[in-house]
Amino acid sequence: MTTLDADRCYQAVLTRDPRFDGVFFVGVSSTRIYCRTVCRARTPQRKNCTFYPSAAAAEQAGFRPCLLCRPELAPGNAWIDATGRLAAAVARRIEDGSFVERFTDLAEELGVSDRHLRRVVQQEFGVSPIELLQTQRLLLAKRLLTDTALSITDIAYASGFSSLRRFNALFQERYRLNPTQLRKTKSTAIAQDYLTCELSYRPPFDWQALVSYLAGRAIVGVETVTGDRYSRTVRLGQQHGWLTVEPIKAKHALRVNFSLSLVPVLLAALARIKALFDLTAEPHQIAAHLGALALHHPGLRVPGAFDGFEIAVRTILGQQVSVKAATTLMGRLVHQFGEPIATPLPTLTHLSPTAEAIAAVDVTTIASLGILSTRAASIVALAQAIVDRRLSLTPGCPIDQTIAQLQELPGIGTWTAHYIAMRVLGDPDIFLPTDLGIRQALGEKTPKRMMAIAEQWRPWRSYATLHLWKSLERGERFTPEQLHPPVVYSVG
């Protein structure tokens, strides 16, 4: 299990340090409740505190979640080492609802043995995969019971339980309450035609920079940014709908409104929003590592992807053209091959086309939209690879393998494959030495020299890339001493 220094953990509890929110949880023996580091309740005595690397580990030890700080709202932890990435891949599958009970299949998909994957999860989270799965489902159910007017039956199924009986039994076993009792303790839910959830993050968070980036690339009919609010249409499996995301004033959290049609795929929708807005980032840790590069723009996030295929297609269309031109071409593609949808937001009119839909289209038909034939061929090849399951654009997939598979497709080069890995696969350590903006920001022309400079920013080179782009956009300049690592000469 991940080693936690109890004295340092208690200091974080004393100061209610938001940097550690979700990194660990504190169990209080006098109340048998576990809390986040930011809990506003009376600080427990040191002798009553034990510390756990995950909510699941705290629950396994016999603690139930605090009703005040609500551990289900804590931002997820961000792991960067090899073992941690494997455990994080399991956590993501559980979080988005794609892992049910077939752990052997998940191990095969991730390219490791069942035994090794179970050992990794136990080491990182302190519990078995099934216990991690059960905790995730219960915490989502607790959130829905507190924040919505959904029926308990709907909540059980939306949380991933296959039966109401199993849901009630596990809820009583873990929390020593039945679902109805919890709803009675705090019923703020209001019946409405959409569902509202909160997603927490660790401050600082440069929301304006992130939504500005998304606004410049918003697909007409699918996405829109109005002021501080991001909105989009959603297709997840057979479920269609819409959502909006905006920051909550005076809280380190985002408010997400979902159409009720998305309740059956709520887990997947929440996971994709977290990926899109990079909500599991640890900005203080990243900034400390990047040093002077991160001074001008604290809390800068790497924009992710809600729909991996959508972003991959948009990236191909953006090759050697302006952002505005690529956005125009993507809009044409969506309106030609995407499915119309009715929403209460007049700017949201279409669903992005699926890989299956694009794979069935002739290259010349796509080219007739003003898209170069070579780009059209790349898009069809990408779609066909996904349909044939030769390629998966899912966070947690092997990064190097996926990049290599992308580059095997016609018309997809190094920059395109790595940009897709940064945004779609969520790799925090992507650097783009052939990018014109990176060259200008570094004042270098040789990719080899730029890669040498970027070594100092591992494993956060994706964030370094965003900082360089942002600095170039603002006309900011760094001194050579700030960007260039010192040259070390060996003796003898």
- Helix 323-337 vs helix 308-317: crossing angle, to nearest 10: 130
Distance CA 381, CA 374 (A): 11
DSSP string, 271-322: HHHHHHTTTT--HHHHHHHHGGGGSSSTT------SSHHHHHHHHHHTTTS-
Distance CA 186, CA 178 (A): 14
Q: Residue holding tokens 């506003």?
A: 40
Active site residue 435: yes
**Looking at residue 413, what DSSP letter applies?**
-
479 SS3 class? coil
Helix (H) or strand (E) holding 114: helix 114-125
Active site residue 35: yes
Which residues share a beta bridge with 197?
256
**CB neighbour class for 348 (10 Å; exposed up to 12, middle 13-18, buried from 19):** buried
Provide the Cα torsion 210, 215, 221, 227; round to 10°: 90
Helix (H) or strand (E) holding 323: helix 323-337
Backbone region of residue 233 per phi and psi (left: phi > 0; alpha: psi in -120 to 50; beta: other values): beta
Tokens of 457: 């920013």
Helix (H) or strand (E) holding 196: strand 194-200
Amino acid found at 345: L
- Helix 373-387 vs helix 308-317: crossing angle, to nearest 10: 160
Catalytic residue chosen out of the listed positions 96, 307, 427, 435: 435
Tokens of 71: 């551990």
Cβ contacts of residue 436 below 8 Å, gap of 6+? none
Catalytic residue chosen out of the listed positions 35, 39, 69, 397: 35
Amino acid found at 337: F
Helix (H) or strand (E) holding 236: strand 229-236
- Contact at 8 Å (CB) between 215 and 96? no
**Which residues are catalytic, by number?**
35, 435
